[in-house]
Amino acid sequence: MARSFSANAVQIRRPDIDRFAHSDAAAERERNQLPWPQFTVADLNFFYGNHQALKNINLIVPNRRVTAFIGPSGCGKTTLLRTFNRMNETVPNTRVEGRIRLGEHDLFSYPVTTLRRVVGMVFQKPAPFPKSIFDNVAYGLRLEHRLNKREMAEKVEQSLRRAALWDEVKDKLHQSANGISGGQQQRLCIARALAVDPEVLLLDEPCSALDPISTAKIEDLLFELKEFCTIVIVTHNMLQAARVADYVGFFLNGELIELNRAKHIFQNPDQQQTQDYITGRFG
Amino acid sequence: MSAAVVAYPPLRRRVVNVAMLTLSGLCTLLVVGVLLTILLYLLWNGAHSLTLHFFTQLPAPVGEPGGGVRNAIIGTLKLLSLATLIGVPIGLLGGIYLSEFAGGWSGFAVRYTTDLLNGVPSVVMGIFVYTLVVLPMHHFSTLAGGIALGIMMIPIALRSTEDFLRAVPRSLREGGLALGASKSETIFTIVIPAAIYGILTGILLDIARVAGETAPLLFTAFGNQYDSPGWLQPTASLPVVIYNYAISPYDSWHQQAWAAGFVLLSGLLAVSVVARLILARGKKLSHG
């Protein structure tokens, strides 16, 4: 389970991301069918000013599985998700206490730009850059790599295929990304995140602005993505969590009530509060 | 309760609706009317002088017919180029700073001084640059005029840049950051490109605004009956020519002032139209 990303590599601002995706560690994980912890969270507290949004969170997110965070609005699930790629640091007046490990290393020891390439994120509202479809996918690659034209085109195609979008946009790669439908835009955002070969993909209610057909496409996609990517998804939709998740964590008022295999949570939860929530008695 | 079959709103609401619609329509007409009247009035009075010679010749001596304002047109273009060169970079970078980097206190300070600068009367700006540039150099110059106009451009370029950058949705910035772009990479590769059409529009309108300034030029560029080669000589400019000709006692000069006014206004209108077109194109691009 040795990650190739060792402590001394941290000083390199721009490491080759292939080391994350196709490293020996990845090969070793192939042999190790058992999930190992992608994120290990210990005693995590998070504050917006004086308001404590996360209270003493302890959990493990297994790798190459889909983990869903559910809970009523304001329960802290999105805050936790945004802690995983340190997006919360862009919000002024916030404070985080406690420890998070990404694999074997402290999350906060990574340079933040490196971390965000290893831990990709897709947001609630599809927000393609006002550029062409091709340039949207190529954006992350261009930040880091000097790829020639052919390599770039291949990588963009691969990413769009992985996001199940290639067939729909292959004839209009150089048109504005704002011209495609909302569902396509969201898959474009997924393709954009996949282009830099992340180890983890964080999805913050990715389907809440989409119609059922687009939602189904993205859910199907998640089954394929978890082959090479750890997925953490925040959702309000309990049915969605039941459909896509291997593990489910239930949050309430900033606390993690329980996290377990999805089947266990939905059929026989340990906690009464979880039972109440999934049966619709509150929230 | 009987079911309401007729979906008409009550009489009072209909009356208010008609009244307000009429009122706002009249106000619109008034605004458009004033502009049209000015334009037509200028054309009516200046048409006689608007010949090709008006654009290609130097002013004629008093008493001689004909003559043009070639030197003033070129002078205005030179002054505006210099002003843009000075005002736009400062305004642009200041706007980026205000929108993206400024903290609470420094943001307040910059914003407040900018607004004050915007409120400085243009004649004061003229005297200021007169003391700063003209006195040490011992003569009026295009350079001094350009500096005066350039300083006047800064506040609006800065605030309009800030406004357009702020209007870029947070989701785009987060999208860039989440892909591992640094803050400045996000700003320069996503936020500014997304706002570029708005920023360009703001700058063009800013140029149009200072193009008509007269007072600061009286103390700096002064005026010139002849062409002004280079940047260190006094130069004629359209607003100052209008001013000088209009207060002169000669009828032929009055006519030329009208014509010069028409040329200046048409130029400004053209710039505004181009600015609107650019903005419309930007909107079209970013909405498919």
Tell me the one-letter amino acid at B242.
I
What does the alpha-carbon distance between residue B7 and residue A107 come to, in Å, rounded to a whole number? 63
Using a CB-CB cut-off of 8 Å, the residues of chain A touching B103 are: none
Question: What's the confidence (pLDDT) of residue B286?
Answer: 64
- Of B147, B252, B168, which is closest to residue A130 (Cα–Cα)? B168
- Pairing, β A255-261 against β A247-252: antiparallel
Question: What's the confidence (pLDDT) of residue A281?
Answer: 77
Residue A241, both tokens: 């969590």
**Cβ proximity of A210 and A186 under 8 Å:** yes
What does the alpha-carbon distance between residue B147 and residue A165 come to, in Å, rounded to a whole number? 54
Quote the minimal CA–CA distance from B105 to chain A in Å. 15
> Could you give the dihedral angle defined by the CA atoms of residues B14, B20, B21 and B26, in that order, rounded to the nearest 10 degrees?
150
Domains in chain B with CATH codes: 73-286 (1.10.3720.10)
What does the alpha-carbon distance between residue B207 and residue A160 come to, in Å, rounded to a whole number? 44
Average pLDDT of A123-138?
93
Question: What's the confidence (pLDDT) of residue B287?
Answer: 56
Provide the pLDDT confidence category of residue B175 given band limits of 50, 70 and 90: very high
- Confidence check: pLDDT of A30 > 70: no
A192 touches chain B (CB under 8 A): yes
Question: What's the confidence (pLDDT) of residue A25?
Answer: 57
B103 to chain A: nearest residue by CA? Answer: A92
- Confidence check: pLDDT of B257 > 80: yes
DSSP chain A: ---S--GGGGG-SS--THHHHSSHHHHHHHH--S--EEEEEEEEEEEETTEEEEEEEEEEEETTSEEEEE-STTSSHHHHHHHHTTGGGGSTTEEEEEEEEETTEEGGGS-HHHHHHHEEEE-SS----SSBHHHHHHHHHHHH----HHHHHHHHHHHHHHTT-HHHHTT-TTSBGGGS-HHHHHHHHHHHHHTT--SEEEEESTTTTS-HHHHHHHHHHHHHHTTTSEEEEE-S-HHHHHHH-SEEEEEETTEEEEEEEHHHHHHS-SSHHHHHHHTTS--
A206 touches chain B (CB under 8 A): no
- Confidence check: pLDDT of A244 > 60: yes
Question: What's the confidence (pLDDT) of residue B181?
Answer: 94
Q: How far is CA B63 from CA A265, B14, B53, B153, B257, in A?
A: 99, 64, 17, 39, 16
Provide the pLDDT confidence category of residue A20 given band limits of 50, 70 and 90: very low
Question: What's the confidence (pLDDT) of residue A12?
Answer: 27
Q: How far is CA B264 from CA A120, A272, B76, B217, B269, in A?
A: 54, 78, 9, 15, 9
- Confidence check: pLDDT of B169 > 60: yes
Question: What's the confidence (pLDDT) of residue A154?
Answer: 93
Helices B70-96 and B142-166 pack at an angle, to 10 degrees, of 40
- Record: contact B180-A139, CB cut-off 8 A: no
Interface of B with A (CB under 8 A): 169, 171-182, 185, 189-190, 193-194, 285-288
Question: What's the confidence (pLDDT) of residue B111?
Answer: 93
Average pLDDT of B101-109?
90
What does the alpha-carbon distance between residue B227 and residue B77 come to, in Å, rounded to a whole number? 13
- Confidence check: pLDDT of B157 > 90: yes
B71 burial level (CB within 10 Å; 0-12, 13-18, 19+): buried
What does the alpha-carbon distance between residue A38 and residue A44 come to, in Å, rounded to a whole number? 16
Question: What's the confidence (pLDDT) of residue A26?
Answer: 55
What does the alpha-carbon distance between residue B207 and residue B157 come to, in Å, rounded to a whole number? 9
- Of A217, A215, A279, which is closest to residue A250 (Cα–Cα)? A279
What does the alpha-carbon distance between residue A220 and residue A206 come to, in Å, rounded to a whole number? 13
Average pLDDT of B70-78?
95
Domains in chain A with CATH codes: 7-278 (3.40.50.300)
- Record: contact A123-B171, CB cut-off 8 A: yes
Backbone angles phi, psi at A67, to 5 degrees: -110, 125
- Confidence check: pLDDT of A32 > 60: no
Say which DSSP state B249 is in: S
Average pLDDT of A77-83?
95
- Record: contact A127-B180, CB cut-off 8 A: no
- At A45-64, the pLDDT tens digits run 999 999 999 999 999 999 88
Task: Report how far Cα B150 is from the mean position of its chain's Cα atoms.
Answer: 11
A208 touches chain B (CB under 8 A): no
ipTM of the complex: 0.83
Average pLDDT of A66-80?
93
- Mean pLDDT, chain A, integer: 85
- Pairing, β A94-102 against β A119-122: unpaired
- Confidence check: pLDDT of A19 > 50: no
Question: What's the confidence (pLDDT) of residue A5?
Answer: 37
Q: How far is CA A167 from CA A69, A154, A159, A162, in A?
A: 31, 14, 12, 11
Average pLDDT of A4-14?
32
- Confidence check: pLDDT of A276 > 80: yes
Using a CB-CB cut-off of 8 Å, the residues of chain B touching A117 are: 179-180
- Confidence check: pLDDT of B4 > 60: no
What does the alpha-carbon distance between residue A257 and residue A182 come to, in Å, rounded to a whole number? 34
**Cβ proximity of A43 and A207 under 8 Å:** no
B163 burial level (CB within 10 Å; 0-12, 13-18, 19+): middle
Quote the minimal CA–CA distance from A169 to chain B in Å. 14
Using a CB-CB cut-off of 8 Å, the residues of chain B touching A189 are: 175
- Confidence check: pLDDT of B269 > 60: yes
Give the gyration radius of chain A's Cα atoms.
Answer: 19
- At A165-188, the pLDDT tens digits run 999 999 999 999 999 999 999 999
Using a CB-CB cut-off of 8 Å, the residues of chain B touching A114 are: 180
Using a CB-CB cut-off of 8 Å, the residues of chain B touching A140 are: 179-181
Question: What's the confidence (pLDDT) of residue A2?
Answer: 37
Tell me the one-letter amino acid at B40.
L
A29 touches chain B (CB under 8 A): no
Question: What's the confidence (pLDDT) of residue B6?
Answer: 65
Quote the minimal CA–CA distance from B272 to chain A in Å. 25
A192 to chain B: nearest residue by CA? Answer: B179
Provide the pLDDT confidence category of residue A1 given band limits of 50, 70 and 90: very low
The residues that bridge with A48 in the sheet, in sequence order, are A51, A94
Q: How far is CA A122 from CA A177, A206, B58, B228, B241, in A?
A: 16, 7, 65, 60, 60
Q: How far is CA A187 from CA A64, A78, A118, A159, B79, in A?
A: 20, 20, 19, 10, 51
What does the alpha-carbon distance between residue B167 and residue A205 come to, in Å, rounded to a whole number? 24
Run of H or E including B146:
helix B142-166
Q: Sign (positive/negative) of CA torsion A63, A65, A70, A73?
A: positive
- At B12-51, the pLDDT tens digits run 999 999 999 999 999 999 999 999 999 999 999 988 888 8
